[in-house]
Amino acid sequence: MPRRVSILTIFAILSSVAYAQVTEARAAADTSIAIQAATLLDGTSVEPRHNVLIVVRGNKIAAVNQGGTPPTGMEVITLPPNATVLPGLIDTHTHIFLQGEDPAAGGYDIQLLKFPASFRSARATVSARRCLDQGFTTIRDVETEGAGYGDIGIKMAINQGYIPGPRIFASTRAISVTGGYPLEGYNPDIVVPTGAQLEDGPVKLRKAAREQLANGADWIKVYMTHRSWVDKHGRLVSQPTLTLEELKAVADEAHGQQHKVACHAYSGIGLHRALDGGCDSIEHGLDLDDSAISQMLKQGTWLVPTLAVYYYDWAPENTPEGRRDRARASAHEVSFKKALKAHVKIAFGTDMGGIPWSDPIAQEFGYMVKFGMSPTEAIQAATVKAAELLDMQGELGVVAPGAYADIVAVAGDPLTKIDALKEVSFVMKDGAVYKRPK
Ligand SMILES: [Zn+2]
């Protein structure tokens, strides 16, 4: 009971803060603002730019000038001298409807079994708010985990100005096959909800893709592998799900309607079917073998690695689950390094939602740099590269004339201390200011 009261109280406070910010955001959307930045990482230049004046008119960037004085009649925002200005960050793998999977808090299952849709939507609203607060002005949300088309509703509420939140590229329900997604392990005589739309056969899978696209999906998300375990030879194995024929039906439908397909795939048969079937992005890619990497290069397939999430909630060491959890993390590190060396296209993604939303989204940058990316490459994965994945080149992920005015600032220099990206002091989305330096 006390816990319930405290959650409601927190939500009420967040809502009133959010309302004030939405009001400011609406007012700002019609005005012109000049931002004076001591240091700018514009998304494309290799070197930082200094003493820059960014002119925003409406929801677009009008000019990015070296020095100069702001045009008269404009609001001028002068960011602190130690601040680094960046394009709004992009997380290409989130789940706003999921709230962590800590077993002690009921894990994944309780969220589908016991939480009403309104409760899950309220919490998704808070998750969306947190994205913006942490400088992530765009997300690709890769499925609602049993919350149906909830992401479409949250996106509508953000776009119509009712709640603050990032730009959302939504994937709605996601697709897998029988036995290919939780909930699992219940009495077979009881019908339990599932976290994704489960169908079998190319006809039904194509229909699922059609339904999701008809109901507003921007991307189609497919689970090409499911459970994973360590076999008796010590190798990480993952269960393949859709057949090649089934995936081709989904991808053909999505591509025909000019939408892309994001495929959860760890390793082995399922990973290779994902590539043979035309997936546009491989999510996680825990164990990419050499032929998978060369096929990704040939086809221009993206990798969205999501490193940090595999360091959460490890089962005890000498259990099958514990061995699996450790094997996943160690295979992933090797896989990421191989992909990086081969110049596979990599976009920033976290699996937030699998991670509690109260944790920093930007912790992922630290893993990317630890495993060999330069800070510049890691930042570009979350800006210009992520925008390319979303087919928004020149519109998102850059601070440049003509782009949407999605601009953030962090305290300090992320090129020398990557965790500076956790210290977001200024957030503008679509020309509207959501957070200002204190
Ligand atoms: Zn995910």
Encode pLDDT of 70-122 as tens digits. Answer: 888 899 999 999 999 999 999 999 999 999 998 899 999 999 999 999 999 99
Percent pLDDT > 70 in the chain is 93
In this structure, which residues have their CB less than 5 angstroms from ion ligand 1? Answer: 351
pLDDT at residue number 9: 41
In sequence order, what DSSP letters do the residues of 147-214 get, joined into one string? -TTHHHHHHHHHHTTSS---EEEE-TT-EE-TTSSSS-SS-TTS----SSEE--SHHHHHHHHHHHHH
pLDDT at residue number 4: 39
* 8 Cβ contact list (under 8 Å, min separation 6): none
132 & 243 share domain: yes
The alpha carbon of 152 and the centre of ligand 1 are apart by a number of angstroms equal to 17
pLDDT at 430 exceeding the cut of 60: yes
Segments forming the whole domain that contains residue 264? 89-361
pLDDT at 8 exceeding the cut of 80: no
Q: For residue range 335-352, what is the model confidence (pLDDT) as tens digits?
A: 999 999 999 999 999 999
Tell me the pairing of strands 197-198 and 136-141: unpaired
Q: In this structure, what token pair is assigned to residue 126?
A: 């808070």
pLDDT at residue number 22: 52
CA distance 269 to 242: 10
pLDDT band at 438 (very low <50, low <70, confident <90, very high): confident
pLDDT at 57 exceeding the cut of 80: yes
The phi, psi pair for 142, rounded to 5°, reads -100, 55
84 & 94 share domain: no
pLDDT at 2 exceeding the cut of 60: no
Query: Which pTM value belongs to this model?
Result: 0.94
Name the strand (E) or helix (H) holding 227: strand 225-230
pLDDT band at 188 (very low <50, low <70, confident <90, very high): very high
154 & 287 share domain: yes
pLDDT band at 68 (very low <50, low <70, confident <90, very high): confident
Per-residue pLDDT, averaged over 220-245, amounts to: 96
Q: For residue range 282-308, what is the model confidence (pLDDT) as tens digits?
A: 999 999 999 999 999 999 999 999 999
Residue 379 lies in a domain: no
Q: For residue range 369-415, what is the model confidence (pLDDT) as tens digits?
A: 999 999 999 999 999 999 999 999 999 999 999 999 999 999 999 99
Residue 83 lies in a domain: yes
In sequence order, what DSSP letters do the residues of 1-24 get, joined into one string? -HHHHHHHHHHHHHHHHHHHHHHH
Tally of domains within the chain: 3
The alpha carbon of 263 and the centre of ligand 1 are apart by a number of angstroms equal to 10
The alpha carbon of 108 and the centre of ligand 1 are apart by a number of angstroms equal to 12
Q: In this structure, what token pair is assigned to residue 180?
A: 């290919």
The alpha carbon of 69 and the centre of ligand 1 are apart by a number of angstroms equal to 45
161 & 250 share domain: yes
The alpha carbon of 143 and the centre of ligand 1 are apart by a number of angstroms equal to 8
The alpha carbon of 99 and the centre of ligand 1 are apart by a number of angstroms equal to 12
The alpha carbon of 54 and the centre of ligand 1 are apart by a number of angstroms equal to 35
18 & 128 share domain: no
pLDDT at 38 exceeding the cut of 50: yes
Q: In this structure, what token pair is assigned to residue 56?
A: 């925003």
The alpha carbon of 235 and the centre of ligand 1 are apart by a number of angstroms equal to 23
The alpha carbon of 104 and the centre of ligand 1 are apart by a number of angstroms equal to 20
Residue 174 lies in a domain: yes
CA distance 275 to 269: 10
CA distance 306 to 282: 11
C-alpha distances in Å from residue 31, one per residue of 62, 127, 164, 434? 12, 28, 18, 14
What strand order describes the sheet that includes 345-346? Answer: 197-198, 175-176, 219-223, 260-265, 281-284, 302-304, 345-346
**Residue 213 CA, distance from chain mean position:** 20
Residue 281 lies in a domain: yes
CB 75 within 8 A of CB 31: yes
In sequence order, what DSSP letters do the residues of 41-72 get, joined into one string? --SS-SS-EEEEEEEEETTEEEEEEES-PPPT
241 & 355 share domain: yes
311 & 175 share domain: yes
CA distance 86 to 120: 32
47 & 143 share domain: no
237 & 338 share domain: yes
The alpha carbon of 223 and the centre of ligand 1 are apart by a number of angstroms equal to 10
The alpha carbon of 266 and the centre of ligand 1 are apart by a number of angstroms equal to 12
Q: The domain spanning residue 334 has which CATH number?
A: 3.20.20.140
Q: In this structure, what token pair is assigned to residue 138?
A: 């765009």
The alpha carbon of 220 and the centre of ligand 1 are apart by a number of angstroms equal to 13
The alpha carbon of 77 and the centre of ligand 1 are apart by a number of angstroms equal to 37
Q: For all residues of the chain together, what is the average pLDDT?
A: 93
Provide the 10 A C-beta neighbour count for residue 116.
8
Higher pLDDT, 69 or 286: 286
pLDDT at 318 exceeding the cut of 80: yes
The alpha carbon of 280 and the centre of ligand 1 are apart by a number of angstroms equal to 16
List the one residue out of 342, 276, 349 whose CA is nearest residue 91.
349
Q: The domain spanning residue 409 has which CATH number?
A: 2.30.40.10
The alpha carbon of 242 and the centre of ligand 1 are apart by a number of angstroms equal to 17
Residue 372 lies in a domain: no
168 & 66 share domain: no
The alpha carbon of 169 and the centre of ligand 1 are apart by a number of angstroms equal to 14
Residue 418 lies in a domain: yes
CB 350 within 8 A of CB 307: no
Q: For residue range 167-183, what is the model confidence (pLDDT) as tens digits?
A: 999 999 999 999 999 99
The alpha carbon of 249 and the centre of ligand 1 are apart by a number of angstroms equal to 22
CB 306 within 8 A of CB 363: no
For residue 49, the cross-strand partners are 40
The alpha carbon of 303 and the centre of ligand 1 are apart by a number of angstroms equal to 13
DSSP H helices in 342-374 = 363-370
The alpha carbon of 399 and the centre of ligand 1 are apart by a number of angstroms equal to 28
CB 265 within 8 A of CB 280: no
The alpha carbon of 221 and the centre of ligand 1 are apart by a number of angstroms equal to 10
Q: For residue range 252-274, what is the model confidence (pLDDT) as tens digits?
A: 999 999 999 999 999 999 999 99
The alpha carbon of 3 and the centre of ligand 1 are apart by a number of angstroms equal to 28
Residue 44 lies in a domain: yes
pLDDT at 12 exceeding the cut of 50: no
195 & 261 share domain: yes
pLDDT band at 25 (very low <50, low <70, confident <90, very high): low
44 & 5 share domain: no
The alpha carbon of 159 and the centre of ligand 1 are apart by a number of angstroms equal to 24
The alpha carbon of 355 and the centre of ligand 1 are apart by a number of angstroms equal to 10
pLDDT band at 7 (very low <50, low <70, confident <90, very high): very low
For residue 52, the cross-strand partners are 37, 66
CA distance 251 to 426: 39
CA distance 152 to 215: 8
Residue 429 lies in a domain: yes
